[in-house]
A and B are shown apart, each in its own frame.
Chain A
């Protein structure tokens, strides 16, 4: 009984025409999700596991995430050890889909994390890398769904053109700030690639981390740092206690330069709902704050 039934079922699956349903694509987090959305358009059904404002480093999967992975035709991840949870989750979900590693071909930078030297996964903070992301995702989609390859190419070309323009604009904007002033203090540790590509120094606040409760010692060192380096541009991750930042600005005369998006996009109604919009949000804020230095 069992075998004929399975056989009939498999016939049914084979018989269903490929074009009838869009490609099921699962993206690990909002930034590769947005690129996949732009490139895939209406040819794909996209599920993004770690949504807007979510932290892709630490992710608590829900049952629906496992289901999405199980049903996926293609899984897009950033790579460079960003999604350490993915392997386990995909295994648990019995996912069979191939992977696209969006950062494929990028030479990773190193970063310091809690005293350890690790590879920096935030490669998308350089728009040139972003263009590579687009091409990798385009290639992955075309391989999984060759019939729509032309559409993917058109979409990808459009996005790449936009990113190239954005890259030139970012350079011009940063160039409008005198070189000596191109530094900010920020708790974001995701701007290593941005720093190298566009020549802005991102100084870590002394002792302050978003992981731990601030203590009086580290806060006093930060006050000293701001005063001695004469930095007015202070960018603090949205996760940090805003009350603490108010205290800090009052004490030092520094200004909080608004919200930067680095690890994740904002929700659709926020200031950085797409990958290009993230730069359009961050760059003017950085420039305005650095001019105060």
Chain B
């Protein structure tokens, strides 16, 4: 009964808690695999950069239609894709490498976004855009997040093999099929889509947290790509669930509580993980799987 009150009752009693939990599940399902591929492709910071890049798009949406789900999502999507593709293009036609050109674009985007929001709204509005509000997720937003998650899973399943192949040997796929960049672009589209989904709930600053932290933590527990992705999903969802409970019981803001829980998973995995963690490296004998 006590456990019920602690862990289940908040969700049974309040609709906003239920919707927030389901939003976390949908976000975990989409972001987990995407984050895994970002980690495998050594693009972990790219997710962060992209999450800032969608800000001016969302801000323009906000400027036109206020805190409207669709306007802000479409704006974020458009600008996010534009920045991703431009950064890729510039790294191909100039001497600048992709990470540097991405950094340039995302800083411009971030500043432009802050400027645009300030044009119309107050600092409080800006905070809503930057931090989102998972407690105010409504059915419409849930549909959007769940739709993006479903689309992500189906698409990743369809391009799973070439995507994995490209992760480990980008040259190979380009040599045999010449379509490596096509998969890369499709993947980028889904990175942006999932960030847009997360942005509604967690804001531009933290959407990337649920994507990267579980995926990075999973690296210490699994080796195959599919199990990395599955583990990321599970950890992301548990982070969401535990974060919401922490927010509920201790009056802490929900977004940071969720991301910090994911952060705990990450730190714990660094220390105790099965592969390549501090424990595995320095006390391999204590490995509980080898008894």
Return chain B residues, CB-CB under 8 Å to A239. 122, 124
A242 CB-CB contact with B under 8 Å: yes
Question: B249 contacts which chain A residues (CB < 8 A)?
Answer: 217
Give which listed residue, B13, B14, B138, B248, contacts A246 with CB less than 8 A: B138
Of B17, B20, B255, the contact of A213 (CB 8 Å cutoff): B255
- A251 CB to closest chain B CB (Å) equals 5
* Complex contacts, B67 vs chain A, CB 8 Å: 241-243
Quick check: B14 and A217 within 8 Å, CB to CB?
no
Question: Which residues between 43 and 84 of chain A lie within 8 Å of chain B, taking CB atoms?
Answer: 55
Which residues does chain A contribute within 8 Å of B17, judged by CB atoms? 216, 220
A244 to B20, CA, bound (A): 12
A217: which of B131, B138, B247 is its contact (CB, 8 Å)?
Answer: B247
Flag if A251 contacts B16 (CB, 8 Å).
Answer: yes
Chain A CB within 8 A of B147 CB: no
Bound-state CA distance A239–B67 (Å) is 12
CB distance from A254 to the nearest CB of B (A): 13
A216 B138 Cβ-Cβ under 8 A: no
Instruction: Write out the residue numbers on chain A whose beta carbons fall within 8 Å of the beta carbon of B66.
Output: 242
Main secondary structure of the interface of B (DSSP, over half): helix
* B:90-140 near A, CB below 8 Å: 122, 124, 127-128, 131, 133, 135-138
Asked if B170 is an interface residue, CB under 8 A from chain A, the answer is: no
Question: Is A250 a contact partner of B138 (Cβ separation < 8 A)?
Answer: yes
Which residues A222-251 have CB closer than 8 A to chain B?
223, 239-244, 246-248, 250-251
Find out whether the CB atom of A216 lies under 8 angstroms from the CB atom of B13: no
B251 lies within 8 A of chain A by Cβ: yes
Which chain B residues lie closer than 8 Å to A212 at the CB level? 253
B208-263 residues at the A interface, CB under 8 angstroms: 244, 247-255, 257
A214 on interface, CB distance cutoff 8 Å: yes
* Central interface residue in B14, B250, B251, by most chain A CB within 10 Å: B251
Total chain B interface residues with beta-carbon distance under 8 A: 31
Nearest CB of A to B118, in Å: 11
Quick check: is A199 within 8 A (CB to CB) of the other chain?
no
Residues of the A chain whose Cβ atoms lie less than 8 Å from the Cβ of B10: 216, 220
Alpha-carbon gap, A214 to B251, bound state (A): 8
Query: Are A215 and B138 in contact, with the CB atoms below 8 A?
Result: no
A207 within 8 A of B: yes
Separation in Å of the B290 CB from the closest CB of chain A?
42
Q: Are B14 and A213 in contact (CB under 8 A)?
A: no
Total count of chain A residues near the partner, CB < 8 A? 24
Contacts of B136 in A (CB 8 A): 241, 243-244, 246-247
Q: Which of A126-153 contact B (CB under 8 A)?
A: none
Known contacts A215-B247, A246-B138; A241/B14 CB under 8 A: no
Contact A216 B133 (CB under 8 A): no
A219 in contact (CB, < 8 A): yes
Query: Would you call B253 and A215 a contact (CB within 8 A)?
Result: yes
Does A218 contact B138, Cβ atoms closer than 8 Å? no
Mask: chain A, 234-276; 1 = CB below 8 Å from B; 0 = not: 0000011111101110110000000000000000000000000
B-contact bits for A191-228, CB 8 A (1 contact / 0 none): 00000000000000001001011111111100100000
Instruction: Tell me the complex Cα distance, A33–B67, Å.
Output: 31
What is the chain B residue whose CB lies nearest that of A221? B251
B15 within 8 A of A: yes
When the two chains form their complex, are residues A216 and B20 in contact, meaning their CB atoms are under 8 A apart? yes
A242-B136 Cα distance, complex, nearest whole Å = 9
Q: How far is the CB of A154 from chain B (nearest CB, A)?
A: 38
A243-B133, A243-B136 known; A220 vs B13 contact (CB < 8 Å): yes
In the complex formed, the residue of A with least CB distance to B141 is A243
Q: For residue B255, which residues in chain A have a CB less than 8 angstroms away from its CB?
A: 213
Please indicate the chain B residues that have their CB under 8 angstroms from the CB of A248 in the complex.
16
CB pair A251 B128 closer than 8 Å: no
Interface residues of A (CB under 8 A from B): 55, 207, 210, 212-220, 223, 239-244, 246-248, 250-251
